[in-house]
C-alpha cells in the first residue's frame, strides 16, 4: 500500500516538473545518467574514511567512484585538493569554519542574510552563527557588495574568515577584491560559489580558485549533479597551511558526518564529467544570455531589479513599487505552474517569511533548451500574473494584524487558484512545456 502511495507521489512530482516552469534559481534538472546512478547499488555501501583508508571492507569500487569525482573536480576547478563527501552546502560551510576558526573567538564576515546572504555563513539562526562570532556586510543600493563597508569592517574586526557568496546576488563576484581585502588582515577568503559554479566551469563567471583559499560549492545548482557539496582547497590555501586539505577531510569525517552517500558522490562524478563537455560550456553561456533576456523583458514591464539587471543566472525583483509582496506573486505564479521563490531585498521593510522580493533563475529552463524568445513570453506571463495578484491583494495582507493577515492570505490563495485566467494560463504553460522536453539535451 505504502509503495503505491510513494510511487503515486513520484508520478505526480514528475508531472509537475515536466509540465511546469522551474524558475527557482537554485534548482535544475540532472541528466538521466546522473539520476540513474543516484538510484543505484552505490546507495547500499558504507564507506567511512577516505579513498584507500576505509573502516569497512568491500570498498574497491566505491573508492574508484570517489577518486573519479575528486580528480574530475580538481581538473574542472583547477584546484589541488577536493573533498566530495559533504552532504550539502550548509554542513560543508560548517566543516570549513570548524577548521579555520576557533569557536566563540574568531570572527567570520559574510553577506547579510536580508541582503542575499546564506544561513550557513554565520547567520544567528544557524549553528555557524552560534559557534562563531559573526558580522555581516551589506550590499549597496546598486546591488553590489558594499566594498567600503567590507573594508572598514575588516580593518576594525580583523576577521579570521571572509566569505563571498550567498543566496541572492546578481553581479559577478569580484574575487580579487575580496582576496585583497582579506590579505590586509591575514584572513582566509572562502568563496561559496554554490550558485555560480556551473557558470565558472563554463567560463562565463570569474574563477574563484585563483583568489580564494577555500572554494565551496553545492553540486546540484548550475553544476547539475546530485545534491551534495565540494570543498576545495586552492594553491593559495595550501600555501597558507599545507595540511588544510587533510584538516577539511577530517572535519567532514569524522568531524561532522559518518558514511558518505556514495550514490550521490557517483552522481557528482557523472555531472563533473558532463561539465567537461563542450555542450556544458554552451549551456552556461545560454543560462546567462537567457537571464539577461528575461531581466530586460521584465524591466520593460516596469519591474524593479536589484542591481538594475543581471550578470549571472539570477534575477532579483523588488516588488515594493508593484504594491504586492513576494509571497503573493510566488503563490499566484505557482497557481499557473510557474515556480519561483520569494526573497528578502536589501533593507526589506517586510519580514523574511513575507518579504518584498522574488528571485528567478534560468538554469532549469535553459537545461530544457529554452532561449531568448521564450524568456520574453515568460516575462509577459509574469506581468499578467502580477496584475492579477494586485487585484486580489487585499489591504489586510501585511497590515500588521496577524489574524487578519493570515485570513487575507488564505482568501488570496483560494482566489488565485480559482481564477479562470490563471487556470487558462496554467494550460498554456503546460502546452508550452511540452515543446521543451526535459532530457533533450
Binding footprint of ligand DSN on the chain (CB under 6 A): 26, 89, 118, 167
Q: Which is nearer to ligand DSN, 146 or 340 (CB)?
A: 340
**Residues 27, 33, 48, 372: which is the catalytic one?**
48
* Cell reading at 194: 554554490
**Residues 138, 172, 177, 227: which is the catalytic one?**
227
- Rounded Cα distance between 82 and 214, Å, is 10
> CB count, 10 Å around CB of 32?
11
Could you tell me the smallest distance in angstroms from the CB atom of residue 24 to ligand DSN? 7
SS3 242: coil
Q: Which is nearer to ligand DSN, 216 or 319 (CB)?
A: 216
Q: Are 281 and 202 in contact (CB under 8 A)?
A: yes
**Residues 18, 27, 46, 140: which is the catalytic one?**
46
Q: Are 219 and 89 in contact (CB under 8 A)?
A: no
Phi then psi dihedrals of residue 303, to 5 deg:
-80, 140
Could you tell me the smallest distance in angstroms from the CB atom of residue 89 to ligand DSN? 6
Residues with Cβ < 8 Å from 259, sequence gap 6 or more? 46, 47, 48
Compute the Cα dihedral for 207, 209, 212, 214 and give only its sign.
Answer: positive
* Lookup result for grid cell 492570505: 409
Q: Which is nearer to ligand DSN, 91 or 245 (CB)?
A: 91
- Rounded Cα distance between 187 and 107, Å, is 10
Q: Is 137 a catalytic residue?
A: no
Q: Is 192 a catalytic residue?
A: yes
Give the residue nearest to ligand DSN (CB). Answer: 26
Phi then psi dihedrals of residue 296, to 5 deg:
-60, -40
- Rounded Cα distance between 140 and 308, Å, is 12
Could you tell me the smallest distance in angstroms from the CB atom of residue 71 to ligand DSN? 26
Q: Is 277 a catalytic residue?
A: no
What does DSSP assign to residue 311? S
- Rounded Cα distance between 430 and 441, Å, is 19
Q: Is 48 a catalytic residue?
A: yes
Could you tell me the smallest distance in angstroms from the CB atom of residue 196 to ligand DSN? 11
**Residues 114, 134, 170, 218: which is the catalytic one?**
218
Distances (CA, A) of 124 to 351, 355, 414: 16, 19, 35
Q: Which is nearer to ligand DSN, 327 or 412 (CB)?
A: 327
Q: Which is nearer to ligand DSN, 163 or 412 (CB)?
A: 163
Q: Is 380 a catalytic residue?
A: no
Helix axes 147-157, 175-184, angle to 10 degrees: 20
Q: Are 358 and 340 in contact (CB under 8 A)?
A: yes
Cis peptide before 247 (omega within 30 of 0): no
Q: Are 100 and 132 in contact (CB under 8 A)?
A: no
Q: Is 227 a catalytic residue?
A: yes
Could you tell me the smallest distance in angstroms from the CB atom of residue 95 to ligand DSN? 15
Q: Are 131 and 159 in contact (CB under 8 A)?
A: no
**Residues 133, 221, 409, 426: which is the catalytic one?**
221
Q: Which is nearer to ligand DSN, 83 or 167 (CB)?
A: 167
Could you tell me the smallest distance in angstroms from the CB atom of residue 235 to ligand DSN? 27
Could you tell me the smallest distance in angstroms from the CB atom of residue 167 to ligand DSN? 4
Could you tell me the smallest distance in angstroms from the CB atom of residue 378 to ligand DSN? 19
Q: Which is nearer to ligand DSN, 81 or 118 (CB)?
A: 118
Q: Which is nearer to ligand DSN, 89 or 208 (CB)?
A: 89
Distances (CA, A) of 149 to 39, 190, 193, 205: 47, 18, 22, 24
Residues with Cβ < 8 Å from 43, sequence gap 6 or more? 261, 262, 263
Active-site residues, by number, are 46, 48, 192, 218, 221, 227
Amino acid at each position: 500500500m505504502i509503495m503505491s502511495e510513494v510511487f503515486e507521489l513520484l508520478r505526480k512530482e514528475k508531472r509537475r516538473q515536466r509540465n511546469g516552469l522551474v524558475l527557482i534559481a537554485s534548482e535544475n534538472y540532472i541528466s538521466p545518467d546522473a539520476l540513474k546512478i543516484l538510484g543505484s547499488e552505490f546507495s547500499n555501501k558504507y564507506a567511512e574514511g577516505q579513498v584507500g583508508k576505509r573502516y569497512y571492507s568491500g570498498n574497491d569500487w566505491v573508492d574508484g567512484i570517489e577518486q573519479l569525482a575528486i580528480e574530475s573536480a580538481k581538473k574542472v576547478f583547477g584546484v589541488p585538493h577536493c573533498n566530495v563527501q559533504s552532504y550539502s552546502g550548509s554542513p560543508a560551510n560548517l566543516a570549513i569554519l570548524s577548521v579555520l576558526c576557533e569557536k566563540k573567538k574568531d570572527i567570520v564576515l559574510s553577506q547579510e542574510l536580508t541582503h542575499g546572504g546564506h544561513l550557513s555563513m554565520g547567520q544567528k539562526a544557524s549553528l555557524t552563527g552560534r559557534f562563531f562570532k559573526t558580522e555581516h556586510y551589506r550590499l549597496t543600493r546598486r546591488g553590489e557588495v558594499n566594498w567600503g563597508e567590507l573594508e572598514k569592517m575588516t580593518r576594525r574586526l580583523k576577521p579570521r574568515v571572509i566569505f563571498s557568496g550567498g543566496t541572492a546576488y546578481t553581479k559577478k563576484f569580484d574575487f580579487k577584491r575580496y582576496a585583497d581585502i582579506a590579505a590586509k588582515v591575514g584572513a582566509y577568503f572562502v568563496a561559496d560559489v554554490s550558485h555560480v559554479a556551473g557558470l565558472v566551469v563554463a567560463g562565463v563567471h570569474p574563477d574563484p580558485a585563483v583568489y580564494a583559499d577555500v572554494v565551496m560549492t553545492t553540486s546540484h545548482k548550475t553544476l547539475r549533479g546530485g545534491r551534495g557539496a565540494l570543498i576545495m582547497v586552492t594553491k593559495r590555501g595550501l600555501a597558507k597551511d599545507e595540511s588544510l586539505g587533510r584538516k577539511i577531510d577530517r572535519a567532514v569525517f569524522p568531524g561532522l558526518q559518518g558514511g558518505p552517500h556514495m550514490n550521490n558522490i557517483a552522481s557528482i562524478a557523472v555531472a563533473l564529467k558532463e561539465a567537461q563537455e563542450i555542450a556544458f560550456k554552451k549551456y552556461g553561456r545560454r543560462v546567462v544570455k537567457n537571464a539577461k533576456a528575461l531581466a530586460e523583458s521584465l524591466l520593460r514591464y516596469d519591474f524593479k531589479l536589484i542591481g538594475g539587471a543581471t550578470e549571472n543566472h539570477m534575477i532579483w525583483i523588488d516588488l515594493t513599487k508593484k504594491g504586492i509582496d513576494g509571497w503573493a506573486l510566488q503563490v499566484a505564479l505557482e497557481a499557473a505552474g510557474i515556480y519561483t521563490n520569494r526573497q528578502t531585498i536589501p533593507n526589506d521593510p517586510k519580514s523574511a517569511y513575507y518579504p518584498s522580493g522574488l528571485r528567478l533563475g534560468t538554469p532549469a529552463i535553459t537545461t530544457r533548451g529554452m532561449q531568448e524568445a521564450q524568456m520574453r513570453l515568460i516575462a509577459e506571463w509574469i506581468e499578467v500574473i502580477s496584475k492579477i495578484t494586485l487585484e486580489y491583494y487585499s489591504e489586510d495582507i501585511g497590515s500588521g494584524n496577524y489574524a487578519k493577515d493570515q485570513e487575507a492570505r488564505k482568501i488570496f490563495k483560494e482566489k488565485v487558484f480559482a481564477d479562470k485566467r490563471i487556470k487558462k494560463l496554467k494550460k498554456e504553460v503546460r502546452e508550452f512545456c511540452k515543446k521543451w522536453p526535459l532530457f533533450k539535451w
